Amino acid sequence: MSTITDVRHYPMYIDGQWVDADERADVIDPATAEVIGTVPMGGVADTDRAVAAALAAHRRGDWRSRTPEERAEVMERIVEILNERMDDLVELHVRENGVTIRQAMAFHVGYAISHLQYFADLARSYEFERSGKLLSYPTAAAGLIRREPIGVVAGIVPWNFPLLLAIWKIGPALAAGNCIVIKPDLQTPLTLLEFARAAEEAGLPAGVLNVVTGDGPEVGGRLADHPDVRKIAFTGSTAVGREIQARASVNVKRTTLELGGKGPNVILEDADLDTAVDAALFACCLYQGQACESGTRLILPSCLHDEFVERMVRRAADIRLGDPADFDTDMGPIINAKQKQRILDYIALAETEGATVAYRGTAPDGPGFWVAPTILTDVTNDMTVAREEIFGPVLCVLKADTVAEAIAIANDTEYGLSAGVWSEDVDAALDVARQLESGTVWVNDWHMVNAEYPFGGYKQSGLGRELGPHALDEYTEEKFIHIDLSRDKSRRVYDIVLPESS
């Protein structure tokens, strides 16, 4: 069990100061339903203060005037502090988030720290300025191409991977020389506030990073509306993403949107069944299925369907639900009671629409919010559970008679965030992967998000890309500087318009 027993009361972080508010919100441990911390209920005034602080810091040049190497050095000091506090961060995150300790160490916190290091390295290697091609017509000229910080950017992160997804926004924003205001979800704000503490100790100037806790529509809505915010990066549902985009369009903010998913996992007839069966459960059930890039639609060849499902049911029975702080636990709780009920309602609706519950695990008794792994068969792609994002450990199994039919089923969705293909023939798998309408396609793998490769969605799964060597493109403006080198006054371009001088 966790060794953190105290209730932690956190302030917000604005302009280098720790700020409270008249009202506070409880942070609940989803495994026990107990209060483990409180944070301020910030509002519009706090958001405006944070944006003003970020704008002032940007105009002073406190951060953007530093060289990329200097920015990278501060970011690496943050990495060092986070590594020193790794155990406490993992334990805190397990309690606020419900993720198992093994997953928290490997993905939620471990990835977050390594990805921040990636962005520090990227600050050093990114081409902020380069020479353009020498021009000879209509005049001799040189060109200079610069990438410059946008200014004030905002990040809005969800509850499922709060620290990791925050760093996907904070990392490139800082590396590019921007100032940022970030809003965590009220359900999981604690590790991000610990990040702000580490950034302060590392010497990040006041106003460069601001963390405002508060209600989503109020704080997040104000960030989307605010005229001084020039870019907004949002991870969350497609419905909220549409609203963010609409509100950001009022002053033509740049947007990066990583939204929902309904990942198709396509099994080819020659797949290694032992590996693919485990992978299908891993794709769907990692972090209780509460990831937008989960593999929630399993598309099986009709000839393999019965054997594959039988094997999968046997393996699903081995999944251990329980205390997420126990290293022997495979799955923890759902984030809250509302989400638990939402998942159960989808399962009930699936049965009403004709799906069969081939497997439903046993959830722990007692407090907390638990949903056991559930496998649905006899699912068709027009059913609600095959169209909508459930955000829970519910796997929908669909049949396809041909590879072409499997691809058609996979692409028949408004989403396009993630997909997977399983085959012993890599060429055949690549042929399928190239036809899938998805921002990420894993071949014989799932959930492996590497900081060196871009991540984002097709269709209504989002706009733009996070991660990869071009991540800073999303956080910089491109400027072209033209330098006239001509010494021949008879070839002056403005003679086309201006009369000869007297």
Give the chain's mean pLDDT.
95
Residue type, 364: P
H/E run at residue 152: strand 152-156
3-state SS track over 217-257? HHHHHHHHHCCCCCEEEEECCHHHHHHHHHHHHHHCCEEEE
- CA nearest to 385, candidates 359, 332, 348, 411: 348
What is the sign of the dihedral through the CA atoms of 99, 101, 105 and 107? negative
Nearest to 389 by CA among 299, 286, 285, 295: 295
Tokens representing residue 226 in the block? 């605010």
Closest CA to 288 of 211, 369, 381: 369
pLDDT of residue 6: 82
The residue assigned the tokens 């302009």 is 15
Q: What pLDDT score was predicted for residue 1?
A: 39
Write down the pLDDT at residue 150.
98
CA 59 vs CA 13, 62, 151, 474: distances in Å: 20, 8, 8, 20
138: cis peptide before it, omega within 30°? yes
3-state SS string over 79-101? HHHHHHCHHHHHHHHHHHHCCCH
179 is catalytic: no
Catalytic residue among 96, 194, 200, 258: 258
Residues of the chain with pLDDT under 70: 1-5, 488-502
Nearest CA among 440, 331, 443 for reference residue 392: 331
- The catalytic position among 179, 285, 292, 396 is 292
Q: Burial level of 360, CB count in 10 A (0-12/13-18/19+)?
A: middle
Structure tokens at 453: 């490769």
DSSP 45-80: HHHHHHHHHHHHHHHHTTTTTS-HHHHHHHHHHHHH
> What domains can be seen in the chain, in order of their start residue?
12-259+457-480 (3.40.605.10), 263-443 (3.40.309.10)
Query: How is residue 32 written in tokens?
Result: 């026990």
Q: Please enumerate in sequence order all residues whose Cβ is within 8 A of that of 66, keeping only pairs 6 or more positions apart, or say none.
A: 74, 177
User: What's the farthest any 2 CA atoms get from each other in the chain?
Assistant: 95
Which residue is listed with tokens 């998942």?
A: 343
**Is 258 labeled as catalytic in the residue annotation?**
yes
Beta bridge partners of 297: 264, 396
3-state secondary structure of 40: strand
How far, in Å, are 55, 232, 254, 269, 463 from residue 477 at the CA level?
16, 14, 10, 48, 17
Per DSSP, the three-state class of 377 is strand
Q: What's the confidence (pLDDT) of residue 238?
A: 96
Say if CB 398 and CB 411 are below 8 A apart. no
pLDDT at 90: 98
**CA quadruple 343, 344, 345, 348: dihedral positive or negative?**
positive
Q: State the Cα–Cα distance between residues 29 and 115, nearest whole angstrom.
A: 26
The DSSP line for 452-496 is TS-B--SGGGEES-BSSTTGGGGGEEEEEEEEE----GGG-GGGG
**φ, ψ (nearest 5 deg) of residue 255:** -130, 145
pLDDT of residue 28: 98
User: For residues 303 and 98, what is the distance between their CA atoms, to the nearest angstrom?
Assistant: 38
What residues does 356 pair with on adjacent strands? 377
Q: What is the pLDDT of residue 499?
A: 66
The DSSP output letter for 501 is P
- The pLDDT of residue 488 is 62
Which pLDDT belongs to residue 2?
Answer: 47
